[in-house]
Each structure stands twice: as C-alpha cells, then as structure tokens.
Amino acid sequence: MKNGKNGLYEDLKRQILTLELDPDEDLDEASLSERYGLSRTPVREIFRRLEGEGFVDIRANRGARVTPMSHSRLRHFFLVAPMIYAAVGRLAVRNVKPRQFEELKEAQERFRKASVEGDAISMVLTNNRFHEIIGEMSADAYLQPSLGRLLIDHARIGHTFFRPRTDDERNRVEKAVAHHDSFIEAIDARNEDAVVELVFEHWELSRENLELFIAPQGLKDDSLVDKAFIR
C-alpha cells in the first residue's frame, strides 16, 4: 500500500477491478483518511475522480460506494461491449503512435507471464491494461470513457475466465494470449478488418465465462429443478 492521494487512487482502482472491494460496497472515508495519511478533502477528491471514471458512486448524505453491478447495467454491458470494442479497434489502427505500440507489447508480455504463472489477479490487471492501451490508441474523446467503464465491469465479471479449472478452460486462456499477439500483429500491419474480426473472436471466447459469473451452470440448468417445487 502507498500513502498519499496517488496511492489511494491506484489502490482503490486495483481493489475494485480485482473484487477485493465488492460491487456496492461502501467506502469508509474516515478509515481511508487515517490509513493513507490524508484529510477528508483529498479523499473526497479521489472519490469524485473515481466517480467520473465509473469506479465509484457518490450518493447525497450516504457517501461513496463501489459502483454496483445491477441487472440493467450488465444487460447494457453485454449489448454494447462488442460494438465499442470494434469501433475502438478500428480507430486504434488509424491513430496508433509508436510509443503506444511498444507499451502494448510490454503489457502483452506481462499478461503472458501472468498466464504462465497462473496468477489470476495479475491476469485481470494486465489484460485490463492491454485493452486500455488500445483505447488510448484510438484517441477518441467519446469512445475512451465508454471503453474505460466497460473494462471495469469486464474485469470484475471476468474473474472466472482467469481461474481455469479444466483443460478446456486453460486452453481458452492460452487462446486469449494468442489473440493478444494477433491484435498486435494486425495493428502493426494497419489492418482494420483483421482487428475487428479479432474483437468478435475475443469477445466470444470470454462471453460464456462472463455469463457463468452471472448465472452459475446449476442455476441455468432447468433439469436440476424439482418440478414438485414449482407446481
């Protein structure tokens, strides 16, 4: 843990993305002020900054809480995510800068290392950073904030993907690593269509795991329900 405003900001972001702080969890302003050596004013400034980025909700007279994951929010996530990812990908190809491209490759190597080591938390964070950089490449003032909000929920509901238990699930993680390599190659080749095709392949790869987070298999299988209980 780091002290000061920047430390609080970075720690809260990480804790929200990795579910160390649960959706809808209240944030204790007093304890955070004491822990980070800050007065209440800078803590509130951090809360407002995080609210603007989609990490936190601030309620009048009730303080700040981690952004909840309501049914309507998740529904919008599944409807909108592929479209925004595809649009961002196209613009990334057109606007990528050499420095950003190097950052993308570095993020991929960190993601690859985390996947080899089976470090789920690092996979969540490095995957998030990989897609953040593609958003930065797009240089679009409208899409970037939307992408940032999508990535928060993608990280939070994607934890099942990065904790593979079967060979099939481990193969999916390996395929995700390969997709990232292909994104890098397509951006380097300035191939918009290839990037968009990869977006939908990548989305389909994670979609089933994202759905399992919301509705575990046992809840989705009607055959497990004793019909006597619903007559």
The pLDDT of 202-215, averaged and rounded, is: 73
Q: Topology of 71-216 in CATH?
A: Four Helix Bundle (Hemerythrin (Met), subunit A) (1.20.120)
Q: Does the pLDDT of residue 226 top 80, yes or no?
A: no
Give pLDDT, residue 230. Answer: 39
Distance CA 126, CA 14 (A): 11
pLDDT band at 220 (very low <50, low <70, confident <90, very high): very low
Q: Does the pLDDT of residue 71 top 90, yes or no?
A: no
Proportion of the chain above pLDDT 70, given as a percent = 89
Give pLDDT, residue 213. Answer: 60
Task: Delimit the domains of the chain by residue range.
Answer: 4-66, 71-216
Beta bridge partners of 58: 64
Is there a common fold for 4-66 and 71-216? Answer: no
Give pLDDT, residue 94. Answer: 98
Q: Does the pLDDT of residue 206 top 90, yes or no?
A: no
As a whole number, the mean pLDDT across the chain is 89
Q: Topology of 4-66 in CATH?
A: Arc Repressor Mutant, subunit A (1.10.10)
Give pLDDT, residue 168. Answer: 85
- What is the rounded end-to-end Cα distance, in angstroms, of the chain? 54
Distance CA 63, CA 28 (A): 8
Proportion of the chain above pLDDT 90, given as a percent = 72
Q: Does the pLDDT of residue 21 top 60, yes or no?
A: yes
Q: Does the pLDDT of residue 118 top 80, yes or no?
A: yes
Which positions ≥6 away from 8 have C-beta within 8 Å? 32, 36, 38, 42, 43, 46
pTM attached to this predicted model: 0.87
pLDDT tens for each residue of 145-155:
999 999 999 99
